[in-house]
Chain A
Amino acid sequence: MSRPITPRNYQAVSMTGQLVTWSDPAPAAAAALVVQADSWPVVAAVTPYAGCGHVFDGLSETGLWPRYLAAIIAPGAVHARAALSHRWQGVPLSGGLTYHELWSADGGVSGNDVIRSPGVLVGGIGYTPELHFQAGPDSITMTGDGANDSPSAPVDRLLELQTSGAPYVEPLYVQGVAGYSLCVTEQISDLEAL
């Protein structure tokens, strides 16, 4: 028998009601009630925290290109994807952005462990995107959705996370973006293995 994570939508359940409201002062605990009681702290523990949308200028001025940041990760996480915000203006050929480099510390910070996610590919003939912050068209792209924890080259792939029974801080890095957020996209399949 395994115990998968059962997601809970807090918008769809009562956050104020009690599990039991019998008038009997000492009711027996029916198995189904114990299951409910057990699920509240367990689901709360393993539900990923909101993936914070960080808005920042990481692209419009020389030297602001790299960005170190971090996220605290709830228990049970396995992999994640990042949402990258871009803003650009079309200008005569001046060299465009072909990819963003990023990493999670758990997945490795150098060599083939570095993730390369495609950059902004827009503009007409003779024009390439020059990154800007305060004005211009914008887009949000997602990093790769394929798991490859031992890559033989820096490719676009899922970010690796620690799978633990307590929250931990995951150091992160990205370059050349105007916004960043991390989404836990895969959790442990069997909580009994946590």
Chain B
Amino acid sequence: MTITTPSAIQITPAAGLWLPAVSAEPLQTALENINYLMRYHRPPLVSHAYTAEHALTRSSVYVVPVLPSADGLRYTFEHRFVCDTATQSVTVTVDETATYAGVGTTWANIYSQAVTTSGTGGNLTTHTKIDQTIAASTRALRITYTAPGVGARNDHHLLVHPQPGDPAAGIATSGATPFDDGAIVHAGRGAVHEEWLNRCKITTVALLQDRLQCALSFLQDESNQLWQWSAGSDTDFRSLPPVRVWLPNQGPTCALTIYALATVDAGATADLIRVRQTGNVQGAVALTLDATNAIVSGSLAVQTQGEGLMRYVDIEIGAKRTAGNKTQLKAVTGYYRPGD
């Protein structure tokens, strides 16, 4: 039996959908498309643009809260940074952990690689690393960039997306089940079984809900934040600029799962981080999270605005401090799961 995985989504012509009911096609194409989805459904697990000071001459360490696939997939990492001096060596290291516990965290290495930067100073360096497995239990990634030998470095963006191989036979942990042609080639001589029809939906839903879509992001250095909440006597919430999150065709109510990592230098930690929908939208609510130097999470209900592909919500991340103390927001990751 063969598991056929198309390299591009297969489109049955509209007329082809009206062939005799017991023919192998168009159902075989539909079933092969779930194999395609198992390999090619690739929403970003991480899409974070770094906030750090200009012209870094030190190493940087970023901790990103994540919720990867339950299937222990292989992922591709794309790092973007700029060195102002040509042809420098910057070592990129990616680690993972199931439990973030500040400086006492036990990290497992995913990969470490010395990268030679662009041959022209000031030009973009894009470092792509494929086929790196992220364990299903991972809840944080640690990204480390070393200082270039000469000059300075500016950190721009990190993209991480699934890149699994061809699906293997059997039911995956996510609930997705690939299709092999061992049975359906005989469909011309018998009735099509309902399981084949249902598998098209069940596997699709399993993949949609297993591979979360990064919908909101903010990321600062674990130890050297460019921005802290520390100024003056003000202890009210102070927000970062709001940002628009696109949820194509979805709504009117959706839920985002928000993960945050923040800490304080002293004092109380409860409810110091706030994520909320802006724009005076009726029914908008706020989610508050603690700054305990652990990864905390909550669900934020949002009301989508706009129409069709341009359905959106405007989201604002804020923080506050207690009197005399600093709050340090290190990371926020917001995930969208279709159906939520």
Asked if B250 contacts A34 (CB within 8 A), the reply is: no
CB distance from A175 to the nearest CB of B (A): 12
Question: Does A92 sit at the interface, judged by CB under 8 A?
Answer: no
What residues on B are CB-neighbors of A155 within 8 Å? none
Question: Does B49 sit at the interface, judged by CB under 8 A?
Answer: yes
Query: Across the two chains, which residue of chain B brings its CB closest to A85?
Result: B241
Asked if A27 contacts B194 (CB within 8 A), the reply is: yes
CB distance from B257 to the nearest CB of A (A): 12
What residues on A are CB-neighbors of B247 within 8 Å? 50-51
Question: Does B26 sit at the interface, judged by CB under 8 A?
Answer: yes
Contacts A3-B14, A11-B339: A41 and B248 contacting too (C-beta < 8 A)? no
Question: Does B326 sit at the interface, judged by CB under 8 A?
Answer: no
Asked if B214 contacts A52 (CB within 8 A), the reply is: yes
CB distance from A34 to the nearest CB of B (A): 6
Question: Does B338 sit at the interface, judged by CB under 8 A?
Answer: yes
Asked if A185 contacts B309 (CB within 8 A), the reply is: yes
Contacts A3-B11, A29-B21, A134-B227: A37 and B30 contacting too (C-beta < 8 A)? yes
A9 to B171, CA, bound (A): 26
Asked if A86 contacts B201 (CB within 8 A), the reply is: no
What residues on B are CB-neighbors of A38 within 8 Å? 12, 17, 26-27, 29-30, 33, 200
Which residue of A36, A83, A166 is within 8 Å of B244 (Cβ)? A83
CB distance from B21 to the nearest CB of A (A): 5
Asked if A72 contacts B159 (CB within 8 A), the reply is: yes
What residues on B are CB-neighbors of A61 within 8 Å? 53-54
A111 to B338, CA, bound (A): 39
Asked if A69 contacts B43 (CB within 8 A), the reply is: no
Q: Which residues of A contact B (CB under 8 A)?
A: 1-3, 7-11, 15-16, 18-22, 25-31, 33-38, 40-42, 44-58, 61-64, 67-72, 75-76, 81, 83, 85-87, 133-135, 138, 140, 164-167, 169, 171, 178-187, 191-192, 194
